[in-house]
Amino acid sequence: MRPKVGFFTDTSICIGCKACEVACKEWNLVPEDGLNFLANSYDNSGGLGADTWRHVAFVEQRGPDGVRWLMNSDVCKHCSEAACLEVCPTGAIFRTEFGTVVVQDDVCNGCGYCIPACPFGVIDRREGDGRAFKCTLCYDRLRADLEPACAKACPTKSITFGPVDELEQMARSRLEELRAQGEERARLYGLPDAGGEGVGGTASIFLLLDRPEVYGLPSQPVTPTRRLRRGWEAAAAAAGALALGVVAAVLGGRGR
Amino acid sequence: MGSNMAECHPVGFQWVMEAKRRGATVIHVDPRYTRTSANASLYVPIRAGTDIAFLGGIVNYILQNGREFREYVTAYTNAATILREDFRDTEDLSGLFSGWDPEQGAYDPASWQYEGMVAKPAVGMREVTVPVGERDGHRGDEPEPEQDPTLEHPRCVFQILKRHFSRYTPEVVEQVCGVPAELFTRVAETLCQNSGRDRTTAFAYALGWTQHSVGVQNIRCAAIIQLLLGNIGRPGGGILALRGHASIQGSTDIPTLFDLLPGYLPMPHAHHHPDLDTYCRMDAPPGGYWGRMREYTVSLLRAYFGDHARADNDWGFGLLPRIDGDHSTYPTVLAMLDGRVKGFFLLGENPAVGSANSRLHRLAMAHLEWLVVRDLVEIESASFWRDAPEIASGELRTKEIPTEVFFLPAAAHAEKDGTFTNTQRLLQWHERAVEPRGDCRSELWFMYHLGRRIREKLAGSSDPRDQAILALTWDYPTRGPYQDPDAEAVLAEINGYGPSGPLSTFTELKDDGTTSCGCWIYCGCFAGGVNQAARKKPGREQSWVAPEWGWAWPANRRILYNRASADPQGRPWSERKRYIWWDATAGRWTGHDVADIKADMAPDYRPGPGARAEMLLRGDEPFVMQADGKAWLFAPAGLRDGPLPVHYEPHESPFDNPLYEQRANPARQRFERSENRTNRDRRRFPYVLTSYRLTEHHTAGGMSRFVPFLAELQPEMFCEVSPQLAAERQLVNGGWAVITTERSAIEARVLVTDRIKPLRVGGRTVHQIGVPWHWGNRGLARGSSANDVFPILLDPNVHIQETKAATCDIRPGRLPGKEA
Amino acid sequence: MLRQLGARDPLGLGLTARSEATAGREARILGAERVARSVCPYCAVGCGQLVYVRNERVIQIEGDPDSPISRGRLCPKGAASEQLVNSPLREYRVKYRRPYGTEWEDLSLDQAMDMIAERVIETRRRTWEEEDAEGRPLRRTMGIASLGGATLDDEENYLIKKLFTGLGVVQVENQARI
């Protein structure tokens, strides 16, 4: 197993250019997601979905010192306890050697179980196709020792790619820096002890300048399969049998 | 100021973000709170079109509080130079300078000159702004201008400046710009504190400064601030023009512009330039590098005409066509509308969307006999005859449009090799990755083969009009499946040749016919026969100046006038800001960059008898393109609208000029006619309208509205309004609005945002409306063209249109015929 | 099952679940036959680009990490330049609209070039100004104009200015004026 890798998205230096959205689409051949003017600040992508794997949120706030414009490039969290992966009945979703969570379009049958399971509302089925798609953290690039497309393009390195433990350190020291500068509402998100408690931590750490809900992120995301799985862990043998059963079903399915 | 860098130059903005993280203060002054404002340390909202009032306020703050970098100012600028007695300032003449001729609607700039000598400008309208009969002066055999190094003489530039800007107080800034005096003072103080020996401040601007009837003076005013604070020619200083196209700098250096020849040589003027001697005598000052203008010109003529440029035919000077007025793009399109222009080439431009009063451009093109459009996609300018909004409205009828249209598909950047010159004067070679497909061809191919065909058809002609075209050197080696001319061969011609091969630098150029050079400032880009622009030594393997990445004109200098980074004695102003300095032991300038002064010219060098060109300047005069080696706080020549910046209201403004009786720039270029009426009635058009660009699109949209991943990010034309204006006009976020001016009406989706703030100006509230100008009626993302509602109204110096400040009305709803 | 156990993937949610297609999917730039070093065609920052080519087609454009200007980064436009080059809306053939015509027609590139050369010669002949009213030489035509160049290469601008100057066309302009 290689070190677990992921993103650190530092929203304090995001300039909202959307290079991440485009670079992601170019590399991953993600189709255009509709030409819709949403009248929601500069966001016309709307949110993450099957055809938008990076999404820049624009939040306009009115305060005593005038207006503040927050921007954040959202992405799949690649949860340590990934509900999408756990509920996928076909084995289409797997955890890679990099610790990331990837949907395989050649396996996915479009059942859609993963969609309500995701506590962040990330994964979605593609219209007219039916299968589920989301960020792969550029699995093919990682295997070629290449940085993910979004992180590579990001002009200000608001998106940094690297081993999660290093990113975590980077995030914590950046938070201290910002707090020292008086950014009182700044916080981390996606870490096992900060906003990622309910999903066992994530591979997508964010430094936010306000509460997660402000950016459209859930404040307390929880893997819905968690309670269930804890029960299984108490009965290891049964869990093993169930897992084998699932795999057998998948293998059987593939054989058809 | 005048730039939305985070949005329009995002990757360049990484350096701003990095500087900010290291402690730099980033100030954004802009009518709109943009993505740049969001990332700035301080945002200052300003009324569009009042930049000179703001900048003038800073000049005044510096001068009133003695905050100038005195040693720099005295040594390197013309602050000490004494002006003629008959000069009158705007203070004396209610907002006009001496020399205004109301009959001509133009200035006679004679009284702006120095006492005791005539200074010629390094750029600008040399032939018309230098007083007639006084064109030969300066240095050489001429007397030196009178100086007062104490800067106390009442007619010295410094005192004139002080008086001129004295009324630009913080309170006036507030009154004119809508910027609270306290906020303004904070900006001025920050600039002062961050300038001097140890620190430097940079200004970044873009079209937010140029697209005004006072565009040139906006930038002049920044230059005055930067010179007073000692921020020119030094690392971290400067006035950075953030240009918007891959080679817009290159297309200015090697100009596809009517009034220039390559290297900023003036295009010969019918009235002033009968021959080469007169051309050089009138336009070239003896001192500084323009003192070599004859070498540059003869070498260019040799590059153009080869052996047809000889000593016995005035080096072919007579083969060049002459200008005799403003033949820039706007007068040209008006002539087109009147049927005087018959044929038109559009080479990667889309004026049906991108030029001010774009509707007029569409109407004008319908008067052409023939039109050639070369582009990647079928842009609005190619198809106006069948789907322009005027076709839909019935104003134009396809069957009545006589224009023959040739659409030729172009090659993309990855399909050709050549150089782009970026915004910092850096030539970067880009390699061809693949050959273009189908009929797609490069402009290099098109121009070369068009020229070849025309020359073949005219071969043997003895008609005088065909002599120049037949005399051109037009024999480039070709390559590849389409017989493309070899771009490196063209670059080598631009670089120039001497008797022993490619030249190394422009000081090797001669006026005896032994050298040729297609653009003197680019001389050296092919030094040693090696394509210097193709150098790609990784940035991490070289110094922070990265001199071995590409090649910067002139002579690979990365900071212009960098002699000013050292004091008059040649020592760095401070350790922290050392850049180049004099090494007395070696007898040379040394440092991080190529010195922008003759490498072995000692700081104590003084010109002796017989000296010419750069040798006429002293070793402590950094501004080597200036006739007097000094930076001009006061411009004694070169400008059509005054030697100093003045706050004038935009041509269309809801306000009178609170500072002077003279309301708008008196010299602005106006073209009032039925197709180009300007707004007069302030009650009908009460709002300020300003145009801009977005990160997600590129100019007139030919390279973005037709690209799905960009089109979806900003899919529709919209306008930005404040919640207060929305309430006043019943505009709904996400709804539609119609914006009206005397030119036309357009429709746009409405974005109601707190980022647009109503300002208090002159005791009342003024609303500003923002409109991006990327859209047209074709492509994936469509909408009205914002340029339809802006007038053709130009800066008098550079003929750029005022699209950053106009007036309009706005109402909820859609255009007739578009209602759902 | 053995694979799962061998891979220490008892739940079968790891690499054992990886399909052959996923395992075989290689980062497409690894299959590039060559990489051209280019420069972004949009704004004037001049970001370095690497253009990956396979089967004589551009398959990917990314930032060039060697560039001291851009350090491998790109904005959304730069990041979209592969789609610019391969845009579904790009035109590959000459289109011709005859005077008063209502539709585009096909025309060969060769014929188009010949017709354009003829138009230039004829218009120039008809509108030539040898001198002004006071007998001063003009040597030009005001019947032809050109607009464009800011998106083009320096070498292209050089040939545009040179050819038009030779032809006596002075109304040569580009976006720098706008």
Taking an 8 Å cut-off on Cβ atoms, the answer to whether C21 and A240 are in contact is no
pLDDT tier at B499, thresholds 50, 70, 90: very high
Sort out which chain A residues have CB atoms less than 8 A from B775's CB and list them.
Answer: none
User: Is the sign of the CA dihedral C128, B676, B668, B242 positive or negative?
Assistant: negative
Q: What angle do CA B223, B225, B229 make, to 5 degrees?
A: 115
The count of structural domains within chain B is 2
What is the C-alpha to C-alpha distance for residues A110 and A131, in angstroms, rounded to an integer?
Answer: 4
Asked if residue B516 is part of any domain, the answer here is: no
Provide the shortest C-alpha distance from residue B26 to chain A (in Å): 13
For testing the chain B interface, which of A43, A44, A52 should be mutated: the one with the most B CBs within 10 Å?
Answer: A44
CB B791 within 8 A of CB B784: no
Same-domain pairing of C16 and C59: no
Same-domain pairing of C56 and C111: no
Taking an 8 Å cut-off on Cβ atoms, the answer to whether B10 and A35 are in contact is no
Provide the shortest C-alpha distance from residue B199 to chain C (in Å): 23
Taking an 8 Å cut-off on Cβ atoms, the answer to whether A244 and C62 are in contact is no
Sort out which chain C residues have CB atoms less than 8 A from A102's CB and list them.
Answer: 22
Residue C159 tokens, joined: 């040939």
What is the C-alpha to C-alpha distance for residues A213 and A191, in angstroms, rounded to an integer?
Answer: 16
Sort out which chain B residues have CB atoms less than 8 A from A44's CB and list them.
Answer: 712-715
pLDDT digit string, tens, across residues A203-233 = 999 999 999 999 999 999 999 877 666 555 5
For chain B, state the CA radius of gyration. Answer: 26
Q: What is the pLDDT of residue B284?
A: 86
Q: What angle do CA B188, B191, B195 make, to 5 degrees?
A: 145
Same-domain pairing of C103 and C134: yes
Percentage with pLDDT > 90 across chain A: 84
Residue that terminates a domain, selected from C43, C65, C90:
C90
Asked if residue B566 is part of any domain, the answer here is: no
Same-domain pairing of C38 and C21: no
Residue that terminates a domain, selected from B198, B218, B241:
B241
Helix (H, G, I), strand (E, B) or coil at B587: coil
In chain C, which residues have pLDDT < 70?
A: 1-8
Q: Can you spell out the DSSP letters for B397-452?
A: -GGG---EEEEEEBPPGGGS-EEEE-TTSEEEEE---SPPPTT-B-HHHHHHHHHH
Q: Evaluate if residue A249 carries a pLDDT over 50.
A: no
Q: In DSSP terms, which residues pair with A95 in a beta bridge?
A: A101
Sort out which chain C residues have CB atoms less than 8 A from A19's CB and list them.
Answer: 73-76, 78-79
Task: Inform me whether the C-beta atom of residue B547 falls under 8 Å from chain C C-beta atoms.
Answer: no
Residues 6+ apart with CB under 8 A from A68: A60, A61, A62, B38
Taking an 8 Å cut-off on Cβ atoms, the answer to whether C150 and B247 are in contact is yes
Q: What is the pLDDT of residue B653?
A: 98
Taking an 8 Å cut-off on Cβ atoms, the answer to whether B699 and C177 are in contact is no
Query: CB-CB: which of A85, A152, A246 is closest to C62?
Result: A152
Pairing relationship of beta strands B404-409 and B370-375 according to DSSP bridges: parallel
Q: Evaluate if residue B136 carries a pLDDT over 80.
A: no
For testing the chain C interface, which of A22, A71, A114, A161 should be mutated: the one with the most C CBs within 10 Å?
Answer: A22
Q: Evaluate if residue A255 carries a pLDDT over 50.
A: no
The count of structural domains within chain C is 3
Sort out which chain C residues have CB atoms less than 8 A from B439's CB and list them.
Answer: 92-94, 109
Query: CB-CB: which of B246, B262, B324 is closest to C41?
Result: B246
Give the residue from chain A lying closest to B15, CA to CA: A156
Residue type, B432: R
CB B496 within 8 A of CB B254: no
Measured CA distances, B152 to B79, B89, B158, B636, C76 (Å): 10, 18, 8, 19, 54
Tell me the CA end-to-end span of chain A in Å, nearest whole number: 32
Task: Inform me whether the C-beta atom of residue C111 falls under 8 Å from chain B C-beta atoms.
Answer: no
Which B residues in the span 84-113 are in contact with C, Cβ-Cβ below 8 Å?
A: none
Task: Inform me whether the C-beta atom of residue A18 falls under 8 Å from chain C C-beta atoms.
Answer: yes
What is the mean predicted confidence (pLDDT) over A183-200? 94
Sort out which chain C residues have CB atoms less than 8 A from B332's CB and list them.
Answer: 145, 147, 171, 173
What is the mean predicted confidence (pLDDT) over B714-726? 98
Residues 6+ apart with CB under 8 A from A63: none
Asked if residue B648 is part of any domain, the answer here is: no
pLDDT digit string, tens, across residues B670-697 = 999 999 999 999 999 999 999 999 999 9
**Who wins on pLDDT, B139 or B701?**
B701
Query: CB-CB: which of B21, B708, B712 is closest to A44?
Result: B712
Find the CATH number of the domain harbouring C55: 2.20.25.90
Task: Inform me whether the C-beta atom of residue B494 falls under 8 Å from chain C C-beta atoms.
Answer: yes
What is the mean predicted confidence (pLDDT) over B805-816? 97
Residue that terminates a domain, selected from B241, B276, B292:
B241
DSSP E strand boundaries for A23-158? 54-63, 66-75, 93-95, 101-103, 124-125, 132-133
pLDDT digit string, tens, across residues B434-477 = 999 999 999 999 999 999 999 999 999 999 999 999 999 999 99
What is the C-alpha to C-alpha distance for residues C111 and B245, in angstroms, rounded to an integer?
Answer: 32
Please give the CATH topology (third level) of the domain spanning A5-223: Alpha-Beta Plaits (3.30.70)
pLDDT tier at B25, thresholds 50, 70, 90: very high
Q: What is the pLDDT of residue B517?
A: 98
What is the mean predicted confidence (pLDDT) over B84-103? 97
Taking an 8 Å cut-off on Cβ atoms, the answer to whether A139 and C22 are in contact is yes
What is the mean predicted confidence (pLDDT) over B371-383? 98
Asked if residue B215 is part of any domain, the answer here is: yes
Q: Evaluate if residue B820 carries a pLDDT over 80.
A: no
Provide the shortest C-alpha distance from residue C16 to chain B (in Å): 35
For A42-49, the CB contacts below 8 A with 24+ separation are: A42/A16, A42/B35, A42/B694, A42/B714, A44/B712, A44/B713, A44/B714, A44/B715, A45/A18, A45/A21, A45/B712, A45/B713, A47/A74, A47/A121, A47/A216, A48/A74, A48/A75, A48/A76, A48/A120, A48/A121, A48/A122, A48/A124, A48/A134, A49/A124
- Mean of the per-residue pLDDT values for chain B? 96
For B370, counting Cβ atoms within 10 Å of its Cβ (0-12 exposed, 13-18 middle, 19+ buried), the class is buried
pLDDT tier at B138, thresholds 50, 70, 90: very low
Helix (H, G, I), strand (E, B) or coil at C4: helix
Same-domain pairing of C49 and C118: no
Task: Inform me whether the C-beta atom of residue A250 falls under 8 Å from chain C C-beta atoms.
Answer: yes
Q: What is the pLDDT of residue C6?
A: 55
Provide the shortest C-alpha distance from residue C122 to chain A (in Å): 46
For the ranges B25-29, B145-149, B487-491, B702-706, the lowest mean pLDDT is seen at: B145-149
pLDDT digit string, tens, across residues B280-338 = 988 888 899 999 999 999 999 999 999 999 999 999 999 999 999 999 999 999 999 99
Interface TM-score (ipTM) > 0.90: yes
Sort out which chain C residues have CB atoms less than 8 A from B795's CB and list them.
Answer: none
Give the residue from chain B lying closest to C93, CA to CA: B439
Taking an 8 Å cut-off on Cβ atoms, the answer to whether A149 and C62 are in contact is yes
Residues 6+ apart with CB under 8 A from B162: B63, B64
Sort out which chain C residues have CB atoms less than 8 A from B419's CB and list them.
Answer: 153-155
Task: Inform me whether the C-beta atom of residue B454 falls under 8 Å from chain C C-beta atoms.
Answer: yes
Element (H, E) at C124: helix C109-127
Q: What is the pLDDT of residue B285?
A: 86
DSSP state of A214: G
For testing the chain C interface, which of A18, A26, A32, A86 should be mutated: the one with the most C CBs within 10 Å?
Answer: A26
Would you list the domain boundaries of chain A?
5-223, 225-256
For the ranges A27-41, B111-125, B728-742, B748-762, the lowest mean pLDDT is seen at: B111-125
Query: CB-CB: which of B244, B251, B801 is closest to C149?
Result: B251
pLDDT digit string, tens, across residues C20-34 = 999 999 999 999 999
Show the domain range for B171. 5-241
Taking an 8 Å cut-off on Cβ atoms, the answer to whether B246 and C151 are in contact is yes
Taking an 8 Å cut-off on Cβ atoms, the answer to whether A22 and C80 are in contact is yes
Taking an 8 Å cut-off on Cβ atoms, the answer to whether C116 and B246 are in contact is no
What is the mean predicted confidence (pLDDT) over A178-185? 95
Q: What is the pLDDT of residue A243?
A: 45
Asked if residue B564 is part of any domain, the answer here is: no
For testing the chain C interface, which of A13, A143, A156, A229 should be mutated: the one with the most C CBs within 10 Å?
Answer: A143
Provide the shortest C-alpha distance from residue B769 to chain A (in Å): 15
Task: Inform me whether the C-beta atom of residue B406 falls under 8 Å from chain C C-beta atoms.
Answer: yes
Show the domain range for C16. 1-27
Q: Which subunits have 3 or more CB–CB pairs within 8 Å of chain A?
A: B, C
Residue type, B552: A
Taking an 8 Å cut-off on Cβ atoms, the answer to whether B715 and A35 are in contact is yes
Residues 6+ apart with CB under 8 A from A17: A56, A155, B6, B7, B10, B35, B695, C75, C76
Calculated CA dihedral for residues B415, B416, B418, B421, nearest 10 degrees:
-40
Taking an 8 Å cut-off on Cβ atoms, the answer to whether B254 and C94 are in contact is no
For chain A, state the CA radius of gyration. Answer: 19
What is the C-alpha to C-alpha distance for residues B149 and B155, in angstroms, rounded to an integer?
Answer: 12
Asked if residue B545 is part of any domain, the answer here is: no
Provide the shortest C-alpha distance from residue B262 to chain C (in Å): 8
Task: Inform me whether the C-beta atom of residue C113 falls under 8 Å from chain B C-beta atoms.
Answer: yes
